[in-house]
Amino acid sequence: MDYLPIFLRLKHQRALVVGGGHVAMRKVQMLLRADAEVRLVALDVLSELQQLLQGNVHEVAQRAFTEADLLGVKLVIAATDSPEINLAVYEAATLLNLPVNVVDQPQLCSFIFPSIIDRSPVVVAVSSGGSSPVLARLLRARLETYIPSAYGSLAALLGQYRQLAKHRISSITVRMRFWEQIINGPVAELMMSGQEERAKLLLEQNLEHDQQVATGEVYLVGAGPGDPDLLTFRALRLMQQADVVLYDRLVSQQILNMTRQDAEKIHVGKQRSMHTMPQEEISNMLVTLALQGKRVLRLKGGDPFIFGRGGEEIEELAAAGIPFQIVPGITAASGCAAYAGIPLTHRDYAQSVRFVTGHLKNETCDLDWSQLVQKEQTVVYYMGLVSLPEICRQLIAHGRDPGTPIALIQQGTTPQQKVYTGTLATMPQLIKSKEVKAPTLIIVGEVVNLRDKLAWRQTQESSADGPVAE
Ligand code: SAH
């Protein structure tokens, strides 16, 4: 982070603005919203600005800036059109360790103004660290649509009962759950529809009731193949409310960062022949944590029910009587195929698709090969990198044309995505000469040839990865 986001209390505090034009006026308006007492110094001051600062708490001085203007000030803004004056203000403020902002000169700013959504007392601030104010503004507009305007009055209401709730409900976990239920339930709904008195009454009734011990729950969530944009809304919502997160190796840091910041995060990732935590232990842990009243997020790469052992985990949960939710995710086959420009089925080339594990058991890839050599079928191999030469060899041995196209997709849907294409005959050799990084997915079938036609036009594909067969 280049800037630490903080919210500054400026009520009845002196803020200095040097400059008297339109830019200065916008800053003054912002300061007034925070109830600051403004000292404005400028040779020329717009009459509207002068009007804005009428009243005896503010000071307007029509003269040149002097260092004495900094006396008793908490914050400084320079908004003149003279670079020399702006610099002088910056230097004088810096000498006194005062936070200073020189408008439109990021190098002369010790703080910057974010784009804000004001639903006071709820305030959302968005910043691009000065690199693109337009982007921050667009983002703000998008966020604005998610935050109902009644959130301000809702927050004010909740604030009134905060102490009482603290007093009545001593457990932090139970209290937190209580507030979540209020915010997601009928009290909030009443506030949104403007029925403040009824909302108050209901909130008080809720507080009267004995608060139950929190019951835990497990969310088995598919995090998709890598690109955070491929998460579902439901996944994101549960990610942001879970108390504990158990995640595996396939879940990227970027996605992990989207879970609740103060949630405990436990890596239980599995790697080929290097299981960080045995499956049984993971299942036991889910049960134990949920029994402690926690909301446990089991975050898995792709989809939890496709080579994800999700079935085994819920068996344990069901046996222990623990409530759970399962959230599907985009499985690697769908994600990689889409981002590589390879349709898994196609009217002319493939009427069916199979997902198969290429994981070696006892060093042999023990699959029903006769089922996998059918024409007009796409076969996707998960966990197949080590057995790739064996897969190609067996498919040819069982009658598949050696010229059948095959693609190997590395780290699909991420910026590191790479796609290698070849044929069953050439692929094993081609891969030997490359430094291939896990995870990888293999697609076999005529549809792979369509990539040359389609991938050029795709915009979400990583630029490092040209569509030419290697
Ligand atoms: N439940 C997951 C699969 C877990 S098995 C899902 O639905 O996608 C792990 C295998 O998934 C890896 O060995 C690899 O074959 C595949 N895989 C997962 N993410 C991938 C990615 N981003 N790129 C390529 N392959 C991926």
Ligand 1 center to residue 410 CA distance, Å? 10
**Which pairs with CB-CB distance under 8 Å and at least 24 residues apart come from 282-288?**
282/246, 282/313, 283/312, 283/313, 283/315, 283/316, 283/317, 284/316, 285/246, 286/218, 286/246, 286/313, 286/316, 286/317, 286/322, 287/316, 287/317, 287/320, 287/322
Residues with CB under 6 A from ligand 1: 225-226, 250, 300-303, 306-308, 331-332, 336, 382-383, 409, 411-413, 439-441
User: Which has the minimum average pLDDT: 235-244, 336-345, 441-450?
Assistant: 235-244
User: Which has the minimum average pLDDT: 32-36, 158-162, 177-181, 330-334?
Assistant: 177-181
pLDDT bucket at 191, cuts 50 / 70 / 90 = confident
Known active-site residue 11: no
Pocket test for ligand 1, best of 441, 443, 444 (most atoms within 8 A of CB): 441
Write the single-letter amino acid at 467.
Answer: P
Ligand 1 center to residue 37 CA distance, Å? 58
Task: Kindly report, residue by residue over 242-273, the tens digit of the pLDDT.
Answer: 899 999 989 989 999 999 988 999 999 755 55
Spot the catalytic one: 74, 200, 265, 270. Answer: 270
> Has this prediction a pTM greater than 0.85?
no
Q: Region 329-342: what's the mean pLDDT?
A: 97
Ligand 1 center to residue 321 CA distance, Å? 30
Count of Cβ atoms closer than 10 Å to residue 244 Cβ: 22
Task: Kindly report, residue by residue over 354-409, the tens digit of the pLDDT.
Answer: 999 998 777 677 899 999 999 999 999 999 999 999 999 999 999 999 999 999 99
| C-alpha–C-alpha distance, residues 428 and 388, integer Å | 7
User: Which has the minimum average pLDDT: 19-23, 44-48, 81-85, 113-117?
Assistant: 113-117
Residue 456 has pLDDT above 60, yes or no: no
Spot the catalytic one: 69, 227, 243, 248. Answer: 248
Atom index in ligand 1 nearest the CA of residue 358 equals 15
Pocket test for ligand 1, best of 300, 313, 382 (most atoms within 8 A of CB): 382
| C-alpha–C-alpha distance, residues 364 and 147, integer Å | 55
Ligand 1 center to residue 211 CA distance, Å? 43
The pLDDT of residue 107: 92
Contacts of 285 (CB under 8 A, 6+ apart): 246, 266, 268, 277
The pLDDT of residue 276: 66
The pLDDT of residue 148: 77
Q: Region 228-253: what's the mean pLDDT?
A: 90
Known active-site residue 348: no
pLDDT bucket at 194, cuts 50 / 70 / 90 = confident
Q: Region 24-47: what's the mean pLDDT?
A: 96
Residue 274 has pLDDT above 90, yes or no: no
The pLDDT of residue 424: 98
Ligand 1 center to residue 407 CA distance, Å? 15
Mean pLDDT taken over the chain: 90
The pLDDT of residue 183: 86
CA quadruple 152, 154, 155, 161: dihedral positive or negative?
positive
Residue 110 has pLDDT above 80, yes or no: yes
Residue 209 has pLDDT above 80, yes or no: no
Residue 65 has pLDDT above 80, yes or no: yes
Residue 307 has pLDDT above 50, yes or no: yes
> Whose Cα sits closest to atom 5 in ligand 1?
307
